[in-house]
Amino acid sequence: MKTDFCEILQKLNSNNGSMLCVVTMCRAVPINDLIYRASQQSDKLHALSTMLTQELVCTYRVHACHTSSLQTPTDKEQALQVSESDLLSLARSLLQAWSDPLVVLSSSTNVLPYSAQSTLSKTIQKMQEHSKDLKDGLDILSSKMGPAAQTITSLPFIETNEIGQDKITKLLSCFRRDSHKIDSFLKVLRCRAANMQPQMC
Amino acid sequence: MTKVGEVLLLLLLPAFVPHTDGTRYSLPGKPTEIKCRSPEKETFTCWWKPGSDGGLPTTYALYYRKEGSDVVHECPDYHTAGKNSCFFNKNDTVIWVSYNITVVATNALGKTYSDPVDIDVVYIVKPHPPEKLEVTVMKDQGWPFLRVSWEPPRKADTRSGWITLIYELRVKLEEEESEWENHVAGQQKMFNIFSLRSGGTYLIQVRCKPDHGFWSEWSSTSYVKVPECKTSSVWILILVFSAFILLILIWLIHMNSHSLKHCMLPPVPGPKIKGFDKQLLKSGKSDEVFSALVVSDFPPTTSNYEDLLVEYLEVYVPEQQELMVDEGKDHDGCLKSIGSASDSDSGRGSCDSDNLLMDKSGAAKEEQQQQNQEGDQIGTETQGPKEAWEKETMLCANEDVVSPDASSKKVKTWPSVFSPVTPYSPSPLDPHNSLEMHKQNCLSDTQFPPGSPSSDHCIKKALQSSYWEVCFNNNQPYPQTDVHQQLQAHSDRNISAINDGNVPSNLLLPTRMTEYVEVQRLNEENKVLLHPIPSGHSREKACSWVGHRDNYSKVKGVNSDNVLLLQRDVVEEESMEMAGAAESCYTSSIAINTPKPTTCSHIALPVQEERVLAVSGYVDTATMFSLDTYVNEMKPVASKANTV
């Protein structure tokens, strides 16, 4: 396990040239498994949000999300050029930005018709759980990957004066995209780390 | 004027326009069903469905606007993706940015706008189907299975993790009414299919889907044929064959069941006991059964054993001329010679034998009486005078083989054990018997003319001779010791009679031989020759010498020739039959040597150094081998005896 960890770090260092000094000793759980687990969580998170959005949002609309200010890659070339630490940082920032809005979302279900309320409530609850797990995992992962990974961009959530229905729709749409971003970043990170395990990619 | 002209022109303008039949021109229909798809999350294509063209040539244009921008762009590529499509290449594609797309249909009359569509590229990913589908038939311990392998679509970048694909395949038999069988393979690019049908042809297809996208189309079909299972047909043939053979075997066994039963389980022989009634036994009355077995004389119900004992043979030794032997009518047994097994103490010197005999003469009488009481019977034979004598001579002379003719007159077959013992009149026969015995003795020793002076010798020599026939005929079983004693006494009497010239008159030779006699003693000088008498002969039959390697330890009796007949251990059951009156009479020729060589003069017959008789008195059959030599040697002697 120690060898895996060291090899990954060497690879990470070589890819982006950043100094990822790892001074800490090897943990029991190797990075590969952590990343894999994180990507699984983000995948689930996004799937939930997609399901929810497709049920409650009739049409796709563009909304200005509170996380739009965060600069994220817009195409593949850009995305593949992002370092592992930045990828992790972006993921963690986005995740962090949605911890409060999810709470707001769960409390706004009363505006919806009763039939949709239960679905929304359950799903939002699940999403919060996954989000929590993912956050914890990413925290551990970031601690192994150096100080650059620890950076979290603050994306405060400011409630706007939107009508309940619209608010939910907007929130759901935004969360869908952001969860997709998180999932994408982590999966790219996963393939970067799975040098010895190509079956993960 | 001009205004009127313009109005007229305007009114006439439609007239100048050519008219189609019944067609009205209109604006183009609104394009609908705008669908955009991205195969690899790097490019995407939009298709629309045009509306009616309105009768006029219609052109379509796609305009899009990106999220957060108001700049309207037109589709860069209308041709790559085909008709009514718009292809966005990599440069024009951004992700996580919404596109607002509108299609405009334009004809001469106007434009028609479609409904705008917002899309995000990451949500519309639909990859191409997997490529390089390969199916191979592999074997798992003889059972075939399919190994399906494929490659992700060329353009999908799964290596970097940009796209994560999930695969699914489906299998179907090439038959009608067969359903597709779907299998989700996950992220792996290989899959095994088991439980195949031998000889069947399978169709296999595979497709893929990004983690959050649309399923691709099914790949091209791959055909594979599962080979036939050859071993199954072979085994079926073998099974059928063996079943066929098994049936035949069963039929054969059934046909021959009866004979097989006899072969495998031979019937249990029933008891063959005279007087034994199986039916009585089955009836369960044991008393009746056993009472039937009881013959009047056997087992002896009376304790009067004395009556059962064979009468003694009175032997007295007259002079030589008086050695006449009447031919006995009772040819129950043969008695030849006098057993020299007189002394248990084999250590006696040969020269002492005379003294012993002298001493024992009196004792012989006593013993004789005792034996009378004991009831031992010794079969004797009497013969006519000279004829018998001669015959005796011949008989006795023929050591090797007793002529049947001669022996027939003398040898009697063994009577049945259960037959009543006919008492033998001792008196007239005693002397004869003794004479016989004496004669026998003399005959055995052919070198000495029968004569009174030599009678002793004869007797001695007879005793010493290696030829000795002893038959005991006993009707009743009696202890062997009695017989032994009788024999001993008998011999003693004979000897004493010869010596003294007085023959105990009361010596009787038993007429029948029913039991075995244990010859225990021999004088040192005595040599006992035992002729085996073949079984199955009647009384009239002679005892033929049979050179068997049999156990001659049983004495059947004494025939009229004063020959001790030893019964051979009968191998065959028949000879042991008690019911038959004919009993085989065996006289075996055994040269028995006393341990101490005789010092008295006698015919130098080869003396066996070996101790023939064991301590127990049984004749050692091992000496039979040596008998041959003796017998052969005796032949010339016999011839000489004939001349006597």
CA proximity to B570, closest of B590, B592, B585 = B585
For residue A165, the model assigns a pLDDT of: 77
Name the CA radius of gyration of chain A, rounded.
18
Task: Name the residue type at position B525.
Answer: E
Would you mind telling me the total number of residues written for chain B in this entry? 644
Task: Say which CATH superfamily domain B131-230 falls into.
Answer: Immunoglobulins (2.60.40.10)
pLDDT of residue B515: 54
Q: How large is the average pLDDT for residues B465-483?
A: 42
Residues of chain B positioned with their CB less than 8 A from the CB of A46: 212
Q: Express each pLDDT in B274-294 by its tens digit.
A: 766 667 667 766 676 677 666
> Which of B100, B123, B161 minimises the CB distance to A187?
B161
Q: What's the average model confidence in pLDDT over B261-278?
A: 76
Compute the CA torsion angle A9, A13, A18, A19 (nearest 10 deg): 60
Question: If you average pLDDT over each of A33-37, B115-119, B215-219, B482-486, which comes out highest?
Answer: B215-219
What is the average pLDDT score of chain B? 65
Encode pLDDT of B106-163 as tens digits: 888 888 899 999 999 999 999 999 999 999 998 888 788 999 999 999 999 988 889 9
Q: Is the pLDDT of residue B465 over 60?
A: no
Question: Judging by DSSP bridges, how do beta strands B117-120 and B98-107 pair with one another?
Answer: antiparallel
Q: Do B162 and A76 touch (CB under 8 A)?
A: yes
Contacts of A50 in chain B (CB under 8 A): 212
Which of chain B's residues have a Cβ under 8 Å away from the Cβ of A199?
A: 187-188
* Cα-based angle B160, A73, A36 (whole degrees, multiple of 5): 40
Is pLDDT larger for residue A44 or for residue B348?
A: A44
Domain ranges, ordered by start, for chain B: 32-120, 131-230
Q: Is A19 among the domain residues?
A: no
pLDDT at A160: 74
- Phi, psi dihedrals of residue A136, rounded to the nearest 5°: -65, -45
Tell which wins on pLDDT, B426 or B198: B198
User: Does the ipTM surpass 0.95?
Assistant: no
* 3-state SS class at B385: coil
Distance in angstroms (rounded) separating the CA atoms of residues A26 and B631: 114
CATH class in words for B32-120: mainly beta
| CATH code (residue A80) | 1.20.1250.10
Q: Please state which of the ranges B77-86, B212-221, B383-392 shows the lowest mean pLDDT.
A: B383-392
Q: Please identify among residues 325-344 of chain B the ones whose CB lies closer than 8 Å to any CB of chain A.
A: none
- The answer to whether the B32-120 and B131-230 domains have the same CATH topology is yes
Which chain A residue lies closest to B119 (C-alpha atoms)? A60
Residue A132 pLDDT exceeds 60: yes
Asked if residue A5 is part of any domain, the answer here is: no
pLDDT (tens digit, 9 = 90+) per residue, A157-176?
A: 887 777 777 888 888 899 99
Per the CB < 8 Å rule, is B161 touching A60? no
pLDDT in tens, B576-612: 444 334 444 444 444 444 444 444 444 444 444 444 4
Residues B628, B633, B639, B641, Cα dihedral to 10°: -100
pLDDT in tens, A14-28: 444 444 434 444 446
Please count the structural domains in chain A: 1
Residues B220-238: tens digit of each pLDDT: 999 999 988 776 778 889 9
Model pTM above 0.80: no
Contact indicator for B335, B381 with CB cutoff of 8 Å:
yes
What is the structure's pLDDT at B640?
A: 43
Close Cβ partners of B97 (under 8 Å, ≥ 6 residues apart): A74, B66, B67, B68, B120, B121
* Distance in Å, alpha carbon of A199 to nearest chain B alpha carbon: 7
- Terminal C-alpha separation, chain A: 20
Range of the domain at A48: 30-194
Whether residue A64 is predicted with pLDDT greater than 80 in this model: the reply is yes
The backbone torsions φ and ψ at residue B554, rounded to the nearest 5 degrees and listed phi first, read -110, 130
Contact predicate B396/B469, CB 8 Å: yes
Going by pLDDT thresholds of 50, 70 and 90, the confidence category of residue B464 is very low
